[in-house]
Amino acid sequence: MHRSSVIAMAGLAAALAGCAHGTAREAGAPAAPAPVTTTSTSVPPVIGGMTTCTKAALAEPAAAAARALGPNNVYTVDDLHCADGWAVTSGLLASRVDPTMGAPTSFVFQQEGQFWVVQDKAKVCGTNPTTTTAPADAAIPAALFLPGCAAG
């Protein structure tokens, strides 16, 4: 390497070292304020993962919905309908004392990330849930209205 190249490289290194220590400012000028970082607490953090609409995935949420009606209740999922992030289980709601003797019952669920959350039929089925078609104000998908709202 030529002597002039070595000197030029040394000068470049010195100039770059000066840049690494910050930007130049006038003497007596105040330092720039540190950037402000804010965190919003109005939006909950996203929970990763998704669930599937299968009898196995809904067995425990359906059993929990049955226990919410009575601590000695058991529930067997016999049928399942799914659409647009919603699910309707149909099955037998019974007592632990006689799990084969019970009442046909359906539960409505909405998918929230990796969870199936039971829904209140009075809130998601609309103002006239006794018809054969979903009312305009029903939150449940029309494809699930009959098994979820018109049935027990």
Q: What is the pLDDT of residues 4-27, one digit of tens each?
A: 443 444 443 444 344 444 444 455
Instruction: Identify the CATH assignment for 55-123 out of 3.30.56, 3.30.420, 3.10.450, 1.10.3470.
Output: 3.10.450
pLDDT in tens, 101-151: 999 999 999 999 999 999 999 999 998 766 778 888 999 999 999 999 987
In whole numbers, what is the pLDDT of the chain averaged over residues? 77
pLDDT > 70: what percent of the chain? 66
The pLDDT, as a whole number, for residue 129 is 60
pTM of the model: 0.66
CA distance 118 to 110: 7
Taking residues 60-89, report their average pLDDT.
Answer: 97
Tokens of 137: 């104000």
Higher pLDDT, 15 or 95: 95
Tell me what pLDDT residue 152 has: 63
- Which is more confidently placed, 40 or 82? 82
